[in-house]
Amino acid sequence: MVTTTTAAASSSDAQEPSSETFMLENEDHTLANALRFFLNKNPHVEFCGYSSPHPADDVVNVRIQTTGEISAAEALRQACRSCQEVCAHVNTCFKDAVARKHASMSQ
């Protein structure tokens, strides 16, 4: 699902590079745009953008350049976790709202 191309000469396991392009396969604007939002909200991310190379290709390229404090992969991991936390909160709040509505409708 994820393959990366690195701007740096080589990516060793010891140290992840600070600039990377992640190819997300079987994903589109839905996930890429949401992740871009969280990545832009990260002060350690110097640049973040994504593109869909071709509308017929089921792939998006997410480019991340960090200021060096964290690696690009770490920034992406943080964005994923933030997105999951938001989803969990939206899920509970929405269920509460539906329960409130059903309670008020049955009265």
Partner 1 sequence: MSCNRAASVWRLAVKYSICKRSSRPRPASQEPVTLGPEAHKSAQGFSASSIGMPRKKARQSDGGATASAYVKSEDEGDDDAQPEPTDRPTLPHHLQVQHDYMVAGEHLNYNTSTVTSALAYLGLGIDNQWDLDEFKRAFRAEVAWISKDTATSEEDMEFDLQGIDPAIANAFRRILLAEVPTMAIEHVFIINNTSIIPDEMLAHRLGLIPIKADAALFQENAAADVGTENNCIIFKLKADCKKRVPSGTIVNDSVFSRQLVWLPKGSEIPDETKCKFSGTQHSLMPEGCAPVHDDILIAKLRPGQGFEVECVATKGNGAEHAKWSPVATAWYRLLPEVALLDDITGADAEELAEKLPGLFTLDKSGAAVVGSARDFPQLHEKVRALANEERWRDRMQLRKRKDHFIFTVQSTGILPPDELFIRSVDELSAKCGRLLERL
Query: Using CB under 8 A, which of 6, 31, 49, 61 touches partner 1?
Result: 31
Report if residue 100 touches partner 1, rule: CB under 8 A: yes
Token digits of residue 77: 């991991």
Report if residue 69 touches partner 1, rule: CB under 8 A: no
Report if residue 8 touches partner 1, rule: CB under 8 A: no
Chain centroid offset of residue 14 CA = 23
Query: Using CB under 8 A, which of 18, 27, 63, 65 touches partner 1?
Result: 27
CA–CA separation, 63 vs 3, rounded Å? 12
Chain centroid offset of residue 72 CA = 11
CA–CA separation, 46 vs 57, rounded Å? 28
Asked if 47 and 64 touch (Cβ cutoff 8 Å), the reply is yes
Q: From the CB of 31, what's the least distance to partner 1, in Å? A: 5
Give bridge partners of residue 60 from the DSSP assignment.
Answer: 24
CB closer to partner 1, 7 vs 88: 88
What are the residues binding partner 1 (CB under 8 A)?
1-2, 24, 27-31, 33-38, 40-43, 45, 73, 76-77, 80-91, 93-98, 100-102, 104-105
